[in-house]
Chains A and B, each alone.
Chain A
Amino acid sequence: QIQLVQSGPELKKPGESVKISCKASGYTFTDYAMHWVKQAPGKGLKWMGWINTYTGKPTYADDFKGRFVFSLEASASTANLQISNLKNEDTATYFCARYRTGTTVANWFAYWGQGTLVTVSS
């Protein structure tokens, strides 16, 4: 069955970097884009953008341009999210998610990772 399994929780200091991963299984990784979604503590969900898993091209939502990088390890069916120069407001749970189909047109998420909590604290 289709699964998105994310890496474990991270505790970082302000100014540090973090890289979290999302390992996909149960389907052909390069056929479906991977999206990232942020959920700050006690807050709602915020779409961060997506990466074309075939070409590797990332697309970032406006609020996530600059310190956020989407990348791939396609041979390992893994998508990564790296955040540099961490700030307190980056404390959140980050989710990877996939559409039901391989479309890049806006769509709903049929599959979600379990989330990775990143805590930024001095």
Chain B
Amino acid sequence: DVQMTQSPSYLAASPGESVSISCKASKSISNNLAWYQEKPGKANKLLIHSGSTLQSGTPSRFSGSRSGTDFTLTIRSLEFEDFAVYYCQQYNEYPLTFGSGTKLEIK
């Protein structure tokens, strides 16, 4: 199985700041990586797929990048609505696997 190592598990930032979340795959997954946002009481929201392609409706302050097996989700100019939990997911092969999540909280 492809292990997804996500870091940090916890991140505190202020509105207006920029943050980055990392996800490292245990082997090559090409660019077959998605990022999701989780908020209480809401369905998980797909933000980015194919490593860097913004899903329709995802604000442009979100971006995704890849370097080999390392993937990064960057959120620029944080807004209050961005404070949530973020997960990465590889879909290069079954079983699908997720990172352990990053909780982004307001500092």
Contacts and interface: CB of A to CB of B under 8 A. Distances in A.
Given A44-B87, A45-B87, A114-B41, A108 B46 contact: yes
B28 interface: no
Given A95-B44, A113-B43, A114-B41, A106 B94 contact: yes
B71 to A, nearest CB: 13
B91 A106 contact: yes
Interface string B89-106: 101111111111100000
A107 interface: yes
> Is the contact region of chain B dominated by helix, strand, or loop, or is it mixed?
loop
Interface residues on B, range: 20 to 34
B89 A45 contact: yes
Interface in A37-73: 43-47, 61-62
Contacts of B49: 108
Given A45-B87, A47-B97, A95-B44, A109 B32 contact: no
A4 interface: yes
B43 A106 contact: no
10 contacts: A4-B43, A45-B89, A45-B101, A62-B95, A106-B32, A106-B94, A109-B89, A112-B45, A113-B43, A114-B41
